[in-house]
Homo-oligomer: A and B are copies of this chain.
Amino acid sequence: MGKSRLEAFSDGVLAIIITIMVLELKVPHGADAEALKPLIPKFLSYVLSFVYVGIYWNNHHHMLHVAKHVSGAVLWANLNLLFWLSLFPFVTGWMGENHFEALPSAVYGFVLLAAAVSYYALQQSIIATDGPSSVLRRAVGKDWKGKASPLLYVAAMVSAFWSPWLAQAIYVLVALIWLVPDRRIERAINTQT
């Protein structure tokens, strides 16, 4: 089983997710600055989600790069990840529509959490398929980012009911943690050769 179609299909779904989120920015009728003002929270939530989908694409790209085989289990673990990512446009739009209120912010965190857990499951599924010589297993190592993120999402979900802005700050923080280039996989490849 080759992995090229898994990559192509995932690229397609991620490309569509990242692009249709922008459709929530409905074109206003007025032509002045006042008409743009209500769009500011929607725009901010769009930027946040764009960065998150970008991070997922980036990490997915690296992970599949070192995967040797894909099994039926990997295909379904991947579809499960894509399912949760496909809810990004909805939760992004809902959070932006309601100016980062408590419940939409918490639900946004829940989808981030589910995506993170799904990504972890996909990673484990690839490692299991590749067997003892898995490059990915070595690359992942202690995976502190992967383990810390779900905890931070849970913290954000809880704090959303107390201070939605704290939740947003945590979402931005996790994004920044992941934006810092992750050299683990590149290093693991170099170590091998």
A: which residues have CB within 8 A of B? 1-2, 5-9, 11-20, 22-25, 27-33, 36, 47, 50, 54, 57-58, 61, 65, 72-73, 75-76, 79, 82-83, 86-87, 89-90, 93-94, 97-98, 101-104, 107, 179, 181-183, 186
Residues of the B chain whose Cβ atoms lie less than 8 Å from the Cβ of A6: 61
Number of chain copies forming the complex:
4
Residues of the B chain whose Cβ atoms lie less than 8 Å from the Cβ of A29: 97-98
For the complex of A and B, the 8 pairs showing the least CB-CB separation, nearest first, are A12-B15, A31-B98, A27-B93, A31-B101, A72-B181, A16-B19, A54-B79, A13-B15
Query: B2–A90 contact, CB under 8 A?
Result: no
* Smallest CB gap from A90: residue in B: B25
Contact of A50 among B5, B20, B86 (CB under 8 A): B86
- A19-B22 in contact given A28-B94, A33-B103 (Cβ < 8 Å): no
